[in-house]
Amino acid sequence: MSDEKDLESPHTIEPVLSFTKEQIKDKNLHVLTSFISPNGKEVKITNDVDQAMKFALDHQGETIELDDKTAKKLLRKIDFFLLPVMCLLYCFQFMDKLTTSYASILGLRQELNMVGDMYSWTATAFYLGYLAFEFPASYLLQRLPVAKTVGVFIILWGMILALHSVPEYPGFVALRTILGMLE
């Protein structure tokens, strides 16, 4: 029976303890608690939290009521500021995919001396970059502030798009790969 208990113990998750504002607001980074994950590794919970957690702790126990006027005002702000930017970025992304197709018809293959399946590899390179950078990008989004990280990705993505007028095929494939990484 003790063998069964030993086998089960590294695969159970212990409940996370509650934290106080004082523990989190301490400027020195330290471990608040830790637990063993299902794969047997120790996971440490530190006092390094995001802005949303700090806000929640500052307003802990308060009831925040949103009247109709404030709710409509908030919805308008989201609709007028966030939604157009998201739509514009989606349009740019879609135009990028279409532009490569149009460029191939209008002479991209001849200008970059593409023969055989070289054009197909440009699309493949994009998705290989996308696939290879999926986990590092997710890690960065968890570790760094989301707004700043996404902002940097968008700026770099735009810069890479502007560089697509390269005169050689290897440069074009490299840019398509980097573009996939930033997507």
* pLDDT tens-digit readout, 80-134: 888 898 899 889 888 877 888 888 899 889 999 999 999 999 989 999 999 999 9
Amino acid 2: pLDDT? 47
Cβ 94 vs Cβ 101: under 8 Å: no
How far apart are the two ends of the chain, measured CA to CA in Å? 52
* pLDDT tens-digit readout, 141-156: 888 888 899 899 989 9
From 26-30, 72-76, 84-88, 177-181, the region with the lowest mean pLDDT: 26-30
Amino acid 59: pLDDT? 74
CA angle, corner 146, sides to 145 and 150, nearest 5? 120
Cβ 59 vs Cβ 71: under 8 Å: no
Amino acid 1: pLDDT? 47
Amino acid 85: pLDDT? 87
Nearest alpha carbon to residue 160 among 145, 148, 178: 178
Amino acid 58: pLDDT? 74
Amino acid 23: pLDDT? 67
Specify the pTM: 0.56
* pLDDT tens-digit readout, 24-63: 666 666 676 777 777 777 777 776 767 777 777 777 777 7
Which two tokens mark 124? 């493949």
CA–CA dist 165, 142 (Å, integer): 34
Q: Is the pLDDT of residue 169 over 90?
A: yes
Domain ranges of the chain: 11-58, 108-183
Q: Which residues are 45's β-sheet partners?
A: 33
| Burial class of 180 by CB neighbour count within 10 A (0 to 12, 13 to 18, 19+) | buried
Cβ 14 vs Cβ 35: under 8 Å: yes
